[in-house]
Amino acid sequence: MNYNFNETLDHRFTESMRWRQPEGRSDVLGMGTADLDFCCPPCVKEATLAVCEENIFNYRYKPDSYYQAIISWFDRKYGLAVNREWISSIPGTLSAIHMAVRLFSKPGNYVLMQTPYFTPLKAGIEGAGCRFLPNPMVLKEGRYELDFEDFEEKIRQYRPSLFLLVNPQNPTGRVFTMEELLRMVDICAKYNVRIISDEVHFLITYDGKKHIPIYAVSEKAREISILIFSYSKGFNIMSLPHAMVFIANRALREQWDRFVYAFNFNYASNSFCIAAVTAVASGAADAWLEELTLYLQNNRDRFIHAVKERSLPIVPLKPEASFLFWIDCRHSGIEAEKLDQVFLDRAGISLNNGLAHGEDGRGFVRMNFAVTEKNMQLALERMTGMFAKYE
């Protein structure tokens, strides 16, 4: 290993959203919100230090090197030829999605989405005055599968304006295959449904699973979809406000460009964001990301193995991507509504109740494993103690 993921800040005292301690406590492990505990790759520090050295924060265009880095990333990783015209940026993924929902649907329209879901996306759909249309995924032998019959039937019956795809999926950790993506695209194209594809969790995938951007699926996919992603979730640059929007379809892009013009986001993704994104997209952190993925995979596999070995009454599903466990606690004897509180009170672990991801999350919790090995082990020991006392 060339990078040390074991050493990091004590996030309890850095105003980290995930680690902020509840009133009167200082022992709680922050394992909720989806960011990472690790320092960024060295190239991020170098690139942002150079911005500091200049100490000038005037209005600026994005340099060619920024566009070239992003275009080369998609070429290297996916063999996808991205046209510079497709690219725009917005300070955050969620804001980009919410803007796209507002632009490409009307109040009262249905927006289709797989469930269990990531709550702020549903809030965005409803905030735009649209109606949330669920396409529940089906849990089969520890893996969530798409229900295509329901998918097509919902589209046929409710005629949604949009399908909001989340790939890799949060919270289930599924990475959709080419076959699944082709099928979703075909059905959407058949009924004239546009796709917004949220790919923010695309950087970390396991066990040889490969993320496929919606734009690498087919020409048809490029015609009907809007691709939204960010480099934040893999490189831990969430608070450098920068998400990317690709729109290949000229008519949709013109609509989008007119819509975003008034917001004047040109400089909202500031010089630090541009420098950091240019550095990581150019490949300077590829080796770092590979090592991080192995580190996280080790956290994932050791936890799953230990839970089984210790016969804990919970089942962590094996995520194919990102760093979020979706843990089945339906046989834990703990009331679904109280799961997060019980983990907090009895194990000092702060995580998310599955119910926050919709009714399909009843009896589940979501737990972030992008923590140091030491904290992962501590979480395991505390859970073991908690269940020993609970029986």
Binding residues vs ligand PLP (CB under 6 A): 34, 92-94, 118, 166, 170, 198, 200, 230, 232, 238, 243
As measured in angstroms, the least distance from the Cβ of 33 to ligand PLP is 7
As measured in angstroms, the least distance from the Cβ of 255 to ligand PLP is 22
For ligand PLP, give the closer residue by CB, 89 or 332: 89
Q: Distance between CA 202 and CA 44 in Å, rounded?
A: 19
Which residues, at least 6 apart from 155, have a Cβ–Cβ distance to it below 8 Å?
Answer: 112, 163, 187, 188, 191, 193
Q: Distance between CA 190 and CA 159 in Å, rounded?
A: 11
Q: Cβ-closest residue to ligand PLP?
A: 93
Q: Distance between CA 114 and CA 103 in Å, rounded?
A: 21
For ligand PLP, give the closer residue by CB, 44 or 383: 44
As measured in angstroms, the least distance from the Cβ of 181 to ligand PLP is 16
For ligand PLP, give the closer residue by CB, 325 or 387: 325
Chain position carrying tokens 């089969």: 140
For ligand PLP, give the closer residue by CB, 93 or 278: 93
As measured in angstroms, the least distance from the Cβ of 322 to ligand PLP is 8
If you write DSSP's letter for every residue of 312-361 in order, what string do you get?
A: -S-EE---SBTTEEEEE-TTSSS-GGGHHHHHHHHH-EE-EEGGGG-GGG
As measured in angstroms, the least distance from the Cβ of 239 to ligand PLP is 9
Chain position carrying tokens 């509180």: 341
For ligand PLP, give the closer residue by CB, 113 or 342: 113
**∠ CA 80-82-84, rounded to 5°:** 170
As measured in angstroms, the least distance from the Cβ of 70 to ligand PLP is 16
For ligand PLP, give the closer residue by CB, 71 or 238: 238
As measured in angstroms, the least distance from the Cβ of 319 to ligand PLP is 12
Token digits of residue 74 = 């998609």
- State the burial class of residue 10 (Cβ atoms within 10 Å of its Cβ: 0-12, 13-18, 19+): exposed
For ligand PLP, give the closer residue by CB, 34 or 289: 34
As measured in angstroms, the least distance from the Cβ of 358 to ligand PLP is 14
For ligand PLP, give the closer residue by CB, 99 or 247: 99
- How many Cα neighbours within 13 Å face the side chain of 63? 13
Q: Distance between CA 87 and CA 244 in Å, rounded?
A: 7
Which residues, at least 6 apart from 324, have a Cβ–Cβ distance to it below 8 Å?
Answer: 34, 170, 171, 173, 366, 367, 368, 369
